[in-house]
Amino acid sequence: MNKKPNYDEKISEEMRIFEDLLRKEGLRITAQRILVAKTIFGMHTHFTADSLLEHLKDRRGEISKATIYRILSIMVSGNLLSEHNFGKDYKYYEHIVGHEHHDHIICEDCNRIVEFTSPEIETLQHQIAKSKGFDLTGHKLNLFAKCEKRESCEHFKKKNDSHI
Amino acid sequence: MNKKPNYDEKISEEMRIFEDLLRKEGLRITAQRILVAKTIFGMHTHFTADSLLEHLKDRRGEISKATIYRILSIMVSGNLLSEHNFGKDYKYYEHIVGHEHHDHIICEDCNRIVEFTSPEIETLQHQIAKSKGFDLTGHKLNLFAKCEKRESCEHFKKKNDSHI
DNA sequence: GTACATGCAAATGGTTTGCATCTTT
DNA sequence: AAAGATGCAAACCATTTGCATGTAC
């Protein structure tokens, strides 16, 4: 992996940011890091280490699980990725480069993860932290819910899918 | 363990609720379950399986770690205990019998966990879920923050304590 | 007495790490 | 060449579980 990278138009900006991060941290630009980052920037859903590995199944010879975890960790600390628990035993990730901040609704019926933003809630959070003597640095707000029309939810069948 | 229980005045109500839960579920009232429940109801902080074990150190002959996990699980599904992640690799618990619902501020400086309530945020959450087609069943809101006056924070020294 | 509960040690499962080998710089 | 990165398998570690023994009812 030594050529000038030539990414798809759509993710070139994200890749530039990723490479900048690597350089800033004195880390090397390797084939594995490029492969994982491209894959992540090409996915527009929440994912887990396992589902990422699944997306890479046709390229499995090129990357190991250990390296995936190592790259996820770099991207999280570099703020290209956010990490979520959602009450499960494994972590979810989502890439946040160029995405505006949002919180999540997790459907207990169909496992869907829906995003939302609420400037009002954000404002209240700051006020609350302040009133308790803290400076807010971040937050996680997860709403757990059920589809209003369970029977007509086309996602319901996915309920028992493994890490989506 | 066969005598009529005679709990401290202050936690007798909680213990009654706990025993009712056991009976409702067809579970037996054992010495270990009583011991763990009394300990939990006597603690008014967030705790982990390990810190609970620590609280029980003088009674260690009487209970095993496996049983503690089994009892925590009963109390969580019976809604006597809530379970939190707080971004760590182990779970936090807090007993919620007779406690009004609240959310948490987690201080990244001193590890303190401070509670707050916000009816405004709760209302907004319901509206948001509704607007996205969900019925809200629960939520977790964690605010991550830093003490405004770090240097004068008397909790700061605890920063590197293990599971508080 | 029987079904359930406990303790122990072993298993689980996601994630991390040691180390020998390969790559980037 | 030297510093880093990777892959593999083993280690980690909180939590769970199988099974023989104990206990509530």
Q: Are residues A132 and A153 located together in one domain of the fold?
A: yes
Q: Are residues A6 and A71 located together in one domain of the fold?
A: yes
Q: Are residues B77 and B32 located together in one domain of the fold?
A: yes
Q: What is the pLDDT of residue A159?
A: 45
Question: How many other CB atoms are there within 10 angstroms of residue B151's CB atom?
Answer: 6
CATH of residue A161's domain is 3.30.1490.190
Q: Are residues B59 and B32 located together in one domain of the fold?
A: yes
Mean pLDDT of A82-89: 92
Least reliable range by pLDDT among B96-100, B129-133, B150-154: B150-154
Q: Are residues B53 and B75 located together in one domain of the fold?
A: yes
Q: Reply yes or no on whether the pLDDT at B106 is more than 70.
A: yes
Question: Domain boundary at B98, B115, B150, which?
Answer: B98
Q: Are residues A70 and A147 located together in one domain of the fold?
A: no
Q: Reply yes or no on whether the pLDDT at A154 is more than 80.
A: no
| DSSP letters for A33-63 | HHHHHHHHHH--S-B-HHHHHHHTGGGGGG-
Distance CA B98, CA B95 (A): 9
H helix runs in chain A, sequence order: 12-24, 31-42, 49-55, 65-77, 119-131
- Our measurement of CA B141 to C1' C22, in angstroms, reads 46
Q: Determine if strand D comes within 7 Å of the CB of A27.
A: yes
Q: Does B108 touch chain A (CB under 8 A)?
A: yes
Q: Are residues B69 and B144 located together in one domain of the fold?
A: no
Per-residue pLDDT band at B29 (split at 50, 70, 90): very high
Q: What is the pLDDT of residue A83?
A: 95
Distance CA B96, CA A52 (A): 38
Q: Which A residues, 19 through 78, put their C-beta within 8 Å of a C-beta on chain B?
A: none
Percentage with pLDDT > 90 across chain B = 74
Strand C nucleotides, any atom under 7 Å to a protein CB: 4-10, 13-18, 23-25
Q: Are residues A129 and A93 located together in one domain of the fold?
A: no
Q: Are residues B116 and B147 located together in one domain of the fold?
A: yes
Q: What is the pLDDT of residues A35-84, one digit of tens each?
A: 999 999 999 899 999 999 999 989 999 999 999 999 999 999 999 999 99
Question: Domain boundary at B98, B117, B142, which?
Answer: B98
Nearest alpha carbon to residue A52 among A2, A97, A95:
A95
Q: DSSP class of residue A88?
A: S
Question: Domain boundary at A51, A75, A98, which?
Answer: A98
**Overall domain count for chain A:** 2
CATH of residue B40's domain is 1.10.10.10
Per-residue pLDDT band at A155 (split at 50, 70, 90): low
Residue B144's H or E segment, with its range, is strand B134-147
Q: Are residues A124 and A49 located together in one domain of the fold?
A: no
User: What is the Cβ-side half-sphere exposure of residue A70, based on CA atoms within 13 angstroms?
Assistant: 11
Q: Which A residues, 125 through 154, put their C-beta within 8 Å of a C-beta on chain B?
A: 125, 128-129, 132-149
Q: Are residues B94 and B104 located together in one domain of the fold?
A: no
Structural domain of B14: 1-98
Percentage with pLDDT > 70 across chain A = 84
Q: Are residues A107 and A38 located together in one domain of the fold?
A: no
Q: What is the pTM of this model?
A: 0.85
Mean pLDDT of B62-90: 96
